[in-house]
Structure 1
Amino acid sequence: MASLVESVVNFPVPKDAAAIKSFVHMAGYYRWFVPNFAEKAARLTRLLRKEVEWSWGAPQQEAFECLKRVLTGRPLLAYPYFSKPFTLVTDASKVGLGAALPQDRGQGEQPVAYASKVNAKNVAQYGITDLECAAVIWAVKLFRPYLYGRKFRLVTDHAALNWLMTSKDLTGRVHRWALQLQEYDFEIVYRPGKDNVVADALSRAPVRTVVSSRTDAAPPGGEGQLTDDEIATEQAKDKTVQSLKSKKKYGDRRVGEEGALVYIYERDGSKRVVLPS
Structure 2
Amino acid sequence: MSEPVLRAPDFDKPFLVTTDASERGVGAVLMQEGPDQEFHPVVFLSKKLSEKESNWSVSEKECYAIVYTLEKLRPYVWGWHFHLQTDHAALQWLHTTTGNNKKLIRWNKLSKILI
Is TM more than 0.5 here?
Answer: yes
**Alignment-mate amino acid for residue 131 of structure 1:** K
Measure how far apart 1:81 and its partner are: 0.8
RMSD: 1.6
Q: Give yes or no for the alignment of 1:139 onto 2:73.
A: no
Q: Which has the higher helix share?
A: 1
Matches within 5 A, 1:216-255: none
Measure how far apart 1:95 and its partner are: 0.9
Measure how far apart 1:175 and its partner are: 1.2
Matches within 5 A, 1:107-146: 107=36, 108-146=38-76
CA distance in structure 2 between the partners assigned to 1:151 and 1:110 by the alignment: 17
Contact conserved, 1:132 with 1:160, CA < 8 A, in 2?
Answer: no
Runs of 4+ aligned residues of structure 1 deviating over 6 Å after TM superposition are none
The equivalent of 1:90 in structure 2 is 19
Q: Which has the higher strand share?
A: 2
The counterpart of 1:163, out of the listed 79, 83, 93, is 93
Q: Give yes or no for the alignment of 1:102 onto 2:28.
A: no
The equivalent of 1:78 in structure 2 is 7
TM-score between the two structures when normalised by the length of structure 2: 0.89
Q: Deviations over 1:226-272 (max 9, x none)?
A: xxxxxxxxxxxxxxxxxxxxxxxxxxxxxxxxxxxxxxxxxxxxxxx
- Relative to structure 1, the CA distance from residue 147 to residue 170 in structure 2 (aligned partners, 3 Å threshold; closer, same or farther) is farther
Contact conserved, 2:71 with 2:114, CA < 8 A, in 1?
Answer: no
Measure how far apart 1:173 and its partner are: 1.3
**Alignment-mate amino acid for residue 146 of structure 1:** Y
5+ residue gaps, structure 2, are none
Measure how far apart 1:184 and its partner are: 4.6
Q: Give yes or no for the alignment of 1:178 onto 2:108.
A: yes
- Relative to structure 1, the CA distance from residue 171 to residue 127 in structure 2 (aligned partners, 3 Å threshold; closer, same or farther) is closer
Q: Tell me which of the two structures has the higher relative contact order, counting C-alpha pairs closer than 8 angstroms and 6 or more residues apart.
A: 2
CA distance in structure 1 between the partners assigned to 2:19 and 2:56 by the alignment: 16
CA distance in structure 2 between the partners assigned to 1:169 and 1:103 by the alignment: 34
TM-score between the two structures when normalised by the length of structure 1: 0.39
Measure how far apart 1:105 and its partner are: 2.0
CA distance in structure 1 between the partners assigned to 2:35 and 2:90 by the alignment: 30
5+ residue gaps, structure 1, are 1-69, 186-277
Measure how far apart 1:183 and its partner are: 2.6
CA distance in structure 2 between the partners assigned to 1:139 and 1:157 by the alignment: 15
Which structure: larger Rg?
Answer: 1
How many residues were matched structurally? 113
- Relative to structure 1, the CA distance from residue 94 to residue 106 in structure 2 (aligned partners, 3 Å threshold; closer, same or farther) is same
The equivalent of 1:266 in structure 2 is none
